[in-house]
Structure 1
Amino acid sequence: MTGATTDASPAGGSGSRSAGRVLLPVATGRQVRAYLRRVMRGRRPLLCATAVTMIAESLLGLVGPVAIGWITQAIADHRGVGVLVGPVVLLATSTVAGAAAGWGSTVLLARTVLPAVARLREETVAAAVELPIDVVEAGGAGDLVSRVSGDAELVSDAASDALGSFIGSGLAILAALAGLAALDWRFALAGLLAVPIQAHTLRWYLRTSRPIYAGGRVADGRRASALLTGFTALSTLRALRLGASQRDRVEAASAESMDYEFRAVRAATRFYGRLNLAEFVGLGAILLVAYFLVRAELVSLGAATTAALFFAGLFGPINIVLGVFDGIQQAGAGLARLVGITTLTGARDAGRPAPGPIGTAASLTAENVSFGYGEGPDVVRDISLRLEPGRQIAVVGTTGSGKSTLASLLAGLRRPRTGTAALDGVFLEYIDLPQHHVALVTQETHVFAGTIADNLRLARPEATREAIDDALHAVGAHDWVEALPDGIETPVGGGGRPLTASQAQQLALARLWLLDPPIVILDEATAEAGSDTARALDHAARQVTRGRSSVVIAHRLGQAAHADIVIVMENGRVGERGGHEELRAAGGVYATLWAAWSQASSGPA
């Protein structure tokens, strides 16, 4: 069962095109910054406290080299052992205080950023499940899956670990440079000789790696799409002997993704090699300056030792910064892809008029509705209908006549190219339809991993055992469910007890019963039933539509006989419209279809 959703079009973000397919948008830098400002709003006190503790941790890290410098100078001056007590105590105290500050900064940073990351994941998933089906089809389900899984994981890992290491190491680098300058400006000047090499290297790496990581995330989306297609359409691929060609597509997508990985590794290797050169130049300059300054008695041996330790201490933070920089960059690319999904619903909501209250006895209308997939021709054209409260419309026609497309338009899953679809006069695109106004059940039902009760409570989480039993009785599923080893607590779906197609359809109809929407659309929801269960499923469908406005895409014409209005679809248009008996007497297409169906069956199912 699918709750109808509203449509949206990509806005603001940049999209990617792959093999004729436009991928879901990627947010711009401005959109990402605006999103971060919004989710971090109200967290300024925590941010300030985090900054203070991280700065304190960085400054405490300078105490060790200073203490060692004092000890070195005391040894050079042949002082007594008692002189070492102060530096040793200072060293021990700073170590303990630094550990405490490090722990505090980690906790504060986690409390600052992790709730924001959790909110991002929630909003992304919420936006993803509300995306109109045509947007997902255009962008590819694989791209969407790679975002809400892989990209979300990258951002989460960066926020929980890499971000803190990156900021803390950056502050430690600044503190060490300030310490060098405090000892003697010539030490700082000598250390700065490494900066041009590091700056040039960093600039080269940023310019080189950023498009590699962004392209790699897109390539991962293509690979996920190819794999998802292969797995979900496995039976079809085997039946049509298309396995080899699909395997070639998966291999090509995987090769493209691996190529980005190799390019990233090559860039990182060159990056670290150039940074080693910068470290050699900087430390060599520090030691050379220290030699001349000590000989000229301009600085003490202890100060020179401290300067050398300050600069050597930069190696660790710099390596940490660069070690996590790859993850930060990848997380940045992933963050832009995640925020890109939220821009779709944001664009949908922007400027949307607030709909008035929609009653439980709402009327559903379509006026001159036309729709086509992608850039293809219209598959439904100029459809107009009105579903009055409590009435039922049956839609019949041959395969490919546009029945299922019309159902998705009436459910709000797709937005018409032309014309309007409205609920109580409010365009469907302006309504959050999942609020139990319109529900769609198709023949492609899904059994979720969990118990029977879990599957049914998806429609109404607070449903009692009595409500679940009522729903199962209504759709004729109570007896076989009670016969299961654990009744409604029997695990089904992935890893659980397999259900037949008819049983899965009954569960979908039971969910619909619990959801209790005023408008129901059944898109061949009982089409998979064999002759032994057809009557039971048709009875279940009549039960869940009784007292509700409904549109039934009829697989068997016997279903149309109970409808108030029958619409016959021909090549995407309404060919005939009227009551069952009226259309039979008219001798048109419906009469011909009815005669053929009646002859092939023993009577209305």
Structure 2
Amino acid sequence: MSADILPVASGRATWRWLRHELRGRPGVLVGTVLVGILAAGAAVLPVYVLGALVDRIIDGSPSSVIVTIAAALVAAALVGGAATGASNYLIARLGSVMLADLREAGVDRALALPTTTVERVGRGDLLSRVSTDVATIAKAVNEVIPTMFSALMLTALTLASMLGVDWRLAIAGAVSIPFYLLALRWYLPRSAPRYAEERRVIAERSQVLMESMLGAPTVHAYHSHASHQRDIEDASARVRDISIGVFTFFTRFVGRVNGSEFIGLSVILVTGFWLVSDGAVTVGQTTAAALLFHRLFNPISMLLFTADEAQSAGASLARLVGLVSIPQPPAVSGTEVPPRDTSLELTNLEFSYDGDHPVLRDVSIRLDPGQRVALVGSTGAGKSTVAGIAAGVLHPQRGQVRIGGVLLDDMTAEQRRRHVAIISQDVHVFAGALAEDLRLAKPDASDDEIAAALHTVGAEQWVATLSDGVHTIVGEGGHELTAAQAQQVALARLLLLDPAVAILDEATAEAGSLGARDLERAAAAVTAGRTTLIVAHRLTQAATADRIIVMAHGAIIEEGTHDELVAAQGSYAQLWRAWTAHHTASEGN
């Protein structure tokens, strides 16, 4: 597994992003704060009034006064409940809108990441940011943040109310502040790294699980279940150990806070006894001060018990902000000059995935309009890299790609989409109706156009057997397509998209022997008359190309037609003899 991960935003950068988002929504923010203050005030008022009630009872005040005070308590409770509900709604709404914007920006940035970056960091880290981290933040938005906001408002107004009761009792309660601060000073510097580490190991576990699930056929083929099981167990054990350590650390913090509460309440009661004995305050005032301080236990406890989730959400937010903060590639304004034809020209390409080990060395290839050129070579020769660069998926360190004389780098993403498209060995079938999957290539495609595309790629027969035809739900949670059927869907998409240049990167490799010829015929039909660069997995596909280019170690070593290369008795001729001998023997058996 790669040690590289996507960047994580610093605390300062995360707060800067948060302030920027809040400033963009001043109306909702101000309304949320005002309603929160009202809710906190309504919650504190009953305790404040209760002290006055004690004094009125001791003084022997008329029952009407006591009833009035009791009615005020009920009214405050009703107002407090309504205001708290409104405050929680406004906070959740504000947070949900901000999270939706962040999630969309994160997915948009993830889709725009260079392929080399995704391959280097692994998909587990990337997917955990736009799934697990988003879920963690969403839970905080709906549960943790409203609780913390209410607790903060209640704490602030409770402290202010204690000053209103008697400044000496407030000072007595303030004796606990240094102990709270010491607890926070011990907790905060140690907590953030722990939660960040917890999110990191969770991302690592996601990567291990994904590799095992996606590679299940290979795992079964090589009987490597035990080693993969150990990897999963080790990754899960790291998550377990760190999570237990985080919780243990948090409980130690709670113990320190409980000690601070005990000290504060004890000092208030002792001070109140002394002041009442001296006639400086009433019993009701002392009662109110003690109850107000005791009332702090609940919001402070809420802050503490949500701090665990808040820290985890903060770590997730930093990871998401880090993702959206990755510099975007320079915007391309596009070219006003249309390609003069459908030729494809690759000039002096050099490429390296890590910057140290070159994968391509001065590769130049030209495809005339409508020409089919096949790339042949052993694994690691650089064929797929050439295909990726030709399609604009990869960007070379040196060299240029032109379509019809126009630089690919000068085209916008939409212009590239119209002029060049690639089908790789690993195609994806999107969850949903088959027709909607095909309309990703051409949103306004009619049913007749879809039927014609399926007919061209030879898929109409198996589509007709589906329960709802082209409206059958396929992909995850729906009808599972075979590898060959998925490739046919990809070829049908290409036909509907109708690009000037097609790149087929081993697009028939997953079909197996039985479906290979059908897929090769489908690929030939889709690319007929179209400029096509083929990374050939099967030499029978290369043999029908107009020109064959043989690659080795990132360079072109042979070039010509099938007959020319066979007659030259070079590398291609050796590959062809081995291929035909193997398949002749297979057919004989």
Taking structure 2 as the reference length, what is the TM-score of the superposition? 0.91
Paired with 2:29 and 2:476, the residues of 1 have a C-alpha distance of 43
- Residue aligning to 2:429: 447
Paired with 1:503 and 1:193, the residues of 2 have a C-alpha distance of 74
Q: 1:529 to 1:185 in 2, by over 3 A?
A: closer
- AA aligned opposite 1:106: N
Which digits, 9 at most, give the CA deviation of each residue in 1:480-503, with x for residues without a partner?
Answer: 211223212333334443433322
- Residue aligning to 2:526: 544
Offset of residue 549 of structure 1? 2.8
- Residue aligning to 1:482: 464
- Residue aligning to 1:196: 178
1:412–1:429: 8 Å Cα contact kept in structure 2?
no
Correspondence for 2:383 among 386, 397, 403: 403
Q: 1:83 to 1:362 in 2, by over 3 A?
A: farther
1:476–1:536: 8 Å Cα contact kept in structure 2?
yes
- Residue aligning to 2:3: 21
2:332–2:410: 8 Å Cα contact kept in structure 1?
no
Paired with 1:392 and 1:371, the residues of 2 have a C-alpha distance of 24
SS at match of 1:384: strand
Is 1:525 aligned to 2:507, yes or no? yes
Offset of residue 205 of structure 1? 1.0
- Residue aligning to 1:383: 363
Q: Which runs of 5+ in 2 are unaligned?
A: 585-589
Is 1:165 aligned to 2:147, yes or no? yes
- Residue aligning to 2:202: 220
1:123–1:342: 8 Å Cα contact kept in structure 2?
yes
SS at match of 1:370: strand
SS at match of 1:241: coil
Paired with 2:454 and 2:337, the residues of 1 have a C-alpha distance of 29
Paired with 1:365 and 1:342, the residues of 2 have a C-alpha distance of 34
1:355–1:426: 8 Å Cα contact kept in structure 2?
no
- Residue aligning to 2:334: 355
Paired with 1:437 and 1:203, the residues of 2 have a C-alpha distance of 60
The 5 Å alignment of 1:251-400 reads: 251-344=233-326, 347-349=327-329, 351-352=330-331, 354-357=333-336, 359=338, 361=341, 363-374=343-354, 377-400=357-380
Q: 1:358 to 1:453 in 2, by over 3 A?
A: farther
Offset of residue 359 of structure 1? 3.7
2:335–2:410: 8 Å Cα contact kept in structure 1?
no
- AA aligned opposite 1:73: D
SS at match of 2:427: coil
Paired with 1:485 and 1:105, the residues of 2 have a C-alpha distance of 50
SS at match of 2:207: helix
Which digits, 9 at most, give the CA deviation of each residue in 1:228-264, with x for residues without a partner?
Answer: 1122222322333332222222222112111210111
SS at match of 1:22: coil
Offset of residue 80 of structure 1? 2.1
1:152–1:334: 8 Å Cα contact kept in structure 2?
yes
Paired with 2:78 and 2:5, the residues of 1 have a C-alpha distance of 52
1:127–1:341: 8 Å Cα contact kept in structure 2?
yes
Offset of residue 364 of structure 1? 4.1
The 5 Å alignment of 1:34-73 reads: 34-73=16-55
- Residue aligning to 1:31: 13
Paired with 1:188 and 1:398, the residues of 2 have a C-alpha distance of 80
Offset of residue 330 of structure 1? 0.8
2:52–2:284: 8 Å Cα contact kept in structure 1?
yes
SS at match of 1:414: coil
SS at match of 1:26: coil
- AA aligned opposite 1:140: G
Q: % of aligned pairs identical? A: 41
Q: 1:244 to 1:579 in 2, by over 3 A?
A: same
Offset of residue 554 of structure 1? 1.8
Offset of residue 452 of structure 1? 2.4
Paired with 1:384 and 1:559, the residues of 2 have a C-alpha distance of 22
- Residue aligning to 1:246: 228
Paired with 2:207 and 2:68, the residues of 1 have a C-alpha distance of 64
Which digits, 9 at most, give the CA deviation of each residue in 1:274-328, with x for residues without a partner?
Answer: 1111111111111111112222221222222111111111111101111111111
Offset of residue 547 of structure 1? 4.2
Taking structure 1 as the reference length, what is the TM-score of the superposition? 0.89
Paired with 2:249 and 2:410, the residues of 1 have a C-alpha distance of 47
Offset of residue 462 of structure 1? 4.2
- Residue aligning to 1:90: 72
Range moving further from structure 2, 589-598 or 376-385: 589-598
Paired with 2:25 and 2:323, the residues of 1 have a C-alpha distance of 24
1:352–1:430: 8 Å Cα contact kept in structure 2?
no
Structure having greater relative contact order (Cα 8 Å, sep ≥ 6): 1
- Residue aligning to 2:587: none
- Residue aligning to 1:555: 537
Q: 1:488 to 1:338 in 2, by over 3 A?
A: same
SS at match of 2:153: helix
2:342–2:370: 8 Å Cα contact kept in structure 1?
no
- Residue aligning to 2:392: 412
Range moving further from structure 2, 569-578 or 489-498: 489-498
SS at match of 2:548: strand
Paired with 1:402 and 1:457, the residues of 2 have a C-alpha distance of 32
Paired with 1:429 and 1:334, the residues of 2 have a C-alpha distance of 36
Q: 1:366 to 1:473 in 2, by over 3 A?
A: same
SS at match of 2:56: helix
Q: Which runs of 5+ in 1 are unaligned?
A: 1-18
SS at match of 1:522: strand
- AA aligned opposite 2:65: V
2:332–2:412: 8 Å Cα contact kept in structure 1?
no
Which digits, 9 at most, give the CA deviation of each residue in 1:50-109, with x for residues without a partner?
Answer: 111111211222210122112111111122211112211211221121122212222222
Q: 1:40 to 1:398 in 2, by over 3 A?
A: same
Which digits, 9 at most, give the CA deviation of each residue in 1:331-383, with x for residues without a partner?
Answer: 11101111222223xx133x445332474756544332233443663233221
Count of residues in Structure 1 that have an aligned counterpart in Structure 2:
581
1:353–1:430: 8 Å Cα contact kept in structure 2?
yes
1:568–1:574: 8 Å Cα contact kept in structure 2?
yes
- AA aligned opposite 1:94: A
- Residue aligning to 2:102: 120
Which digits, 9 at most, give the CA deviation of each residue in 1:529-560, with x for residues without a partner?
Answer: 45554343222212322343321112233433
- Residue aligning to 1:5: none
Paired with 1:87 and 1:505, the residues of 2 have a C-alpha distance of 77
